[in-house]
Amino acid sequence: MRYKLLGQHTGIRLSEIILGAGMFGLKWGHGADIEESRKIFDGYVEAGGNFIDTSDTYQFGESEEFLGEFIKPRREELFVTTKFTMSVDPKGGILATGNSRKAMVHSLEQSLKRLKTDRLDLYWVHFPDALTPIDEIMRGLDDLVRAGKILYIGLSDFPAWRVSAASVLAELRGWTPVAAQQIEYSLIERTPERDLLPMAAAHGLATVGWSPLGGGVLTGKYRKGEKGRNEGMGGRVFQPENTPQRTAIIDALEAIAAEIGSNPGRIAIAWVNTKGVWPIIGPRTREQLDDNLGALELTLSPEHIQKLDEASAITLGFPHDLLSTPSMRNRMTGGKLDSFIQPSELAR
Distance of CA 262 to the CA centre of its chain: 24
| Cα dist from 281 to 193, 250, 319, whole Å | 20, 18, 33
Q: Is the CA virtual torsion 292, 296, 298, 300 positive or negative? A: positive
CB atoms under 10 Å from CB of 105, counted, come to 16
CB 264 within 8 A of CB 291: no
In the chain the first and final C-alpha atoms are separated, in Å, by: 29
Distance CA 28, CA 41 (A): 19
Catalytic residue status for 44: no
Distance CA 204, CA 72 (A): 32
Please pick, among 44, 58, 185, 222, the residue that the annotation labels catalytic: 58
Complete DSSP assignment for 2-27? -EEESTTS---EEESSEEE-TTBBST
Distance CA 227, CA 133 (A): 41
| Cα dist from 336 to 325, 327, 340, 341, whole Å | 15, 11, 6, 10
Nearest to 214 by CA among 185, 183, 182: 185
User: Residue 65 is which amino acid?
Assistant: E
CB 175 within 8 A of CB 142: yes
Q: Is the CA virtual torsion 303, 304, 310, 316 positive or negative? A: negative
CB atoms under 10 Å from CB of 228, counted, come to 17
Q: State the catalytic residues.
A: 58
